[in-house]
Amino acid sequence: MPTVVHVRRAFVLGAALSLALTGALAAATSASAAGGRYVSLGDSYVSGPLIPTQSGGLCLRSSHNYPSLTAAALGLSLTDASCFGATTVEMTAAQSDDGLTINAPQLNSVTSGTSVVTLGIGGNDIGFINIIETCAEESLTNPFGSPCTSHYTSGGTDQLAASISATGPKVAAVLTEIHQLAPDARVYVVGYPDILPEHNNGCWPIVPIAYGDVSYLRQTEKGLDSMLSAEAAAHGATYVDTYTPTIGHDVCQAVGTKWIEGLVPTSSAAPFHPNALGEAAMARALESAIG
């Protein structure tokens, strides 16, 4: 299965070709914005990999990710520091790829003049890509059973639930740092959208997650979102629910209805990530929260 490095490198050429156009669009947005300075922090669910038009080098940022759409809708001047593959570590440390720095510490973009900050993080802290790879491979051994659930709960401990619990203090530390850097900013923690079907057992083999594992992974994602909501409430931030408004638009839906792409994308987006429709839905949820 491809690694994070492989995914980035596979699409960096397209991102480079589109950089000039996206830069012009960003400059135009910044010049016309009058509603305050907005800094976007987070991972690939924020950056929008492979959604046209791409910029940000190996960070794979889209000009149609939810921060860009929100900034345009609300008249905010956007600094998008999000990056494909980011964890909470990369909020305060440079992000590198094979020793090459690809993104400065994301919190470097937050200053006392920042008025709005959004944070979308946590999925990579619990090993999102490895989870997908493991569950896809395990599904081949028992597609109608729950091999991935057995893998992650062997020995009587739910490893993914434990990872979520361990990530909570890391998110809390990031929120504390944001408030210190921008004491007057409104801070929003953006959750993850509905990836797998809410009411059935998936669509193996189109999406290679075994039928019995769908409910476990669904509850794992809800657990991640619940942790993010709790940390937001405890640290002076507003949680933005993107799961509820995206139910029914998961990876198993038809083209045009799905807002999350499957293992083999049917529109310009990374596997198991929001497409342009998904980023637009996340933007609507965020815009509503910001008001």
Using the CB atoms, write b or e for 162-171: b if 16+ within 10 Å.
ebbeebbebb
Known catalytic residue: 44?
yes
Which residue of the set 30, 63, 273, 288 is catalytic?
273
Residues making up the chain, counted from first to last: 291
213, two tokens: 């594992």
The rounded Cα 147 to chain-centroid distance in angstroms is: 26
Options 40, 44, 63, 82, the catalytic residue:
44
Cα angle at 164 between 291 and 91, to 5 degrees?
A: 60
Residue 278 in tokens = 């998904």
CA distances from 19 to 9, 41, 81, 227 (A): 15, 20, 15, 35
Q: How far is CA 223 from CA 133, 162, 165, 168, 220, in A?
A: 20, 10, 9, 11, 5
Active site residues: 44, 273
